[in-house]
Chains A and B, each alone.
Chain A
């Protein structure tokens, strides 16, 4: 399935009855506090520009009140923007007519919610077919497709259970199956795993990554959990007070935090799982006998493990084409894993 990227350009959202009136003032630099105190309007999003890559996972991270849930709702326009555009396949979602928007939501997007938002009066199967039912697809066909995804998320045997009979983790599997059954290019996940226990959360992340390996959808994943963001995100955008403070890959953010706020955020991160060998290797391979060979995409944790097992302090790096492209010393690995970033 050919996925497309999502381009968010100059997106502003001001909550309140006359949001449009204050847009110029906000563009001119009026602060969130001033807008709220003097005019009683709330600045939700300020000048968001994110280019979400096709077929990859874009994580939007931020604490509560940072505007991340507002942002994801602009992609399928559950919230109307004040100004700006969200472009998908050359079409601006913000300019779509009602019927265009309905078709876009039915065929191009699917969403998973923090609080699951399942239909309590319907069984697992009844919930899973919902998207297809809305599209007007026949019952038998819808059930056939839904069963496949129920199986894929590991709910076989629970088709006839009601959501209330399931645990939180299983309910969210239903939410995921419901979204995947829709077979849409874009998967919107609004803090989809935040309400789950840590172990189940990790489990669900694995399920998602496995599925993504196969489907290559354009996934927008909202979270407040940095570990989750680093594990899932091909790209990460960090939001604070409705503004993007930094975006890039997980490594970029961990290695070069844009400001003290983010530096504070990443302090507790397990860097060995985020930084890859390719990032810190020396560009010259070591001549002669080197026992350990690593791949550039290996994470430092793996590198340290392998070198320690072999009782080696040196390793060469070989890329997928079989060419030696660099080398690495254990000291550099340990340094990168433990040194807090300075800026």
Chain B
């Protein structure tokens, strides 16, 4: 009868041993290979540091001009450029310029790494149903598991600092670009693929002349999502000691500084909107050929 009233769970001591064994094994693993893992990520650390110093070191008017030029190149919208310049000036005036540069550096590097990792994985997934079956649940876990959970092993492995923060951001932000690369390639019109086959295109030629160009709008939507998710992670990354706007938000939470919190929070929002509008307009321009004029 007790079977119905009490769940037949593991005994307390067994459960404790179970957890201890896994934790112990992981710690032993880190003890043995921790240095190697840290060395492996060294180049990443140097690159991120270098990029941060570059952004912070560049005089602000030049930096402003570069960002404005990039926004113009991406969006071809004068309003967006003006909005960008105005909001960046305001953010700087309110004393958040340096922190904004740190956040920009982290987001940019994280996005680049997501693209470099995500697109090949997405292609792999599109090419094989088995790979898709294996990778999809992994992506589901990456997107739904609370970030704090995977922060634990990252901290044990790499301690606190820029690289663990970057890794946490990447884990959270990479799934959309993988998913949308896969989707984009799978959505390519089979009639057009058949035509490529009929002309004797090799699998590589099909990928580069048909599948990737036609998947590009979707891949771009993935990049956009990845950027947004990376920005959303900067506050969590600040728990790992990443400086920037996120760290200020964290300070504000800890000390109940309302103004500080909102200022930095809204600065993150401003950056997000600039990134989003620019990349969306750029993505739209990529699809210019699909405009129907007549017929």
Nearest CB on B from A185, distance (A): 14
Contact B194 A117 (CB under 8 A): yes
Binds B, one of A29-37, A161-169, A242-250: A161-169
Q: Which of A155-211 contact B (CB under 8 A)?
A: 162-168, 170-171, 182, 188
The 0/1 profile, CB within 8 Å of A marked 1, for residues 181-210 of chain B is 000000001011011111111100100011
B198 touches A134 (CB 8 A): no
Given contacts A119-B210, A121-B213, A130-B209, contact A188 B290 (CB under 8 A): no
B200 and A120 contact, CB distance less than 8 A: no
A101 to B194 Cα, complex, angstroms: 14
Residue of A nearest to B205 (CB): A134
Chain A contacts for B192, CB-based, 8 A: 117-120
A168 x B289 contact (CB < 8 A): no
Establish whether residues B209 and A115, one from each chain, have CB atoms under 8 Å apart when the complex forms: no
Task: Return B195 CB to nearest CB of chain A, in Å.
Answer: 4
Which interface residue of B200, B213, B214, B290 has the most chain A CB atoms within 10 A?
A: B200
List, in ascending order, chain B residues with CB within 8 A of A71's CB.
none
- Given A119-B210, A121-B289, A164-B289, CB of A131 within 8 Å of CB of B199: yes
Which A residues are in CB contact (< 8 Å) with B202?
102, 134
A148 to chain B, nearest CB (A): 18
A113 interface hit (Cβ, 8 Å)? yes
Interface size on A, residues (CB 8 A): 36
Given contacts A102-B202, A110-B199, A134-B200, contact A164 B290 (CB under 8 A): yes
Q: Is the CB of B200 within 8 A of A105?
A: yes
Contact with B along A139-165 (1 / 0, CB 8 A): 000000000000000000000001111
Query: Do B295 and A164 touch (CB < 8 A)?
Result: yes
* B contact patch SS: helix
Tell me which residues across on chain B come within 8 A of A25, comparing CB atoms: none
The residue in chain B whose Cβ has the minimal distance to the Cβ of A105 is B200
Interchain CA distance A326-B194 in the complex, whole Å: 52
Asked if B294 is an interface residue, CB under 8 A from chain A, the answer is yes
Q: Do B289 and A162 touch (CB < 8 A)? A: yes
**Mask: chain A, 116-136; 1 = CB below 8 Å from B; 0 = not:** 011111100000001101110
Within 8 Å CB of A85, what residues of B?
none
Complex CA distance for A115 and B195, rounded to whole angstroms: 10
CB-based contact A119/B199 at 8 Å: no
Q: Is there contact, CB below 8 Å, between A133 and B209?
A: yes
CB-CB under 8 A for A105 and B197, given A120-B214, A133-B209? yes
A221 CB to nearest B CB, Å? 15
Q: Is B293 an interface residue (CB 8 A)?
A: yes
Any B CB within 8 A of the CB of A218: no
Q: Given A107-B200, A117-B191, A134-B196, 17 more contacts at CB 8 Å?
A: A104-B200, A105-B198, A106-B199, A111-B195, A111-B198, A113-B195, A118-B195, A119-B209, A119-B213, A119-B214, A120-B214, A120-B290, A121-B216, A131-B199, A134-B201, A134-B205, A188-B198
10 pairs, CB–CB < 8 Å, chain A vs chain B:
A76-B198, A78-B194, A78-B197, A105-B198, A113-B194, A118-B195, A119-B209, A134-B209, A164-B292, A166-B295
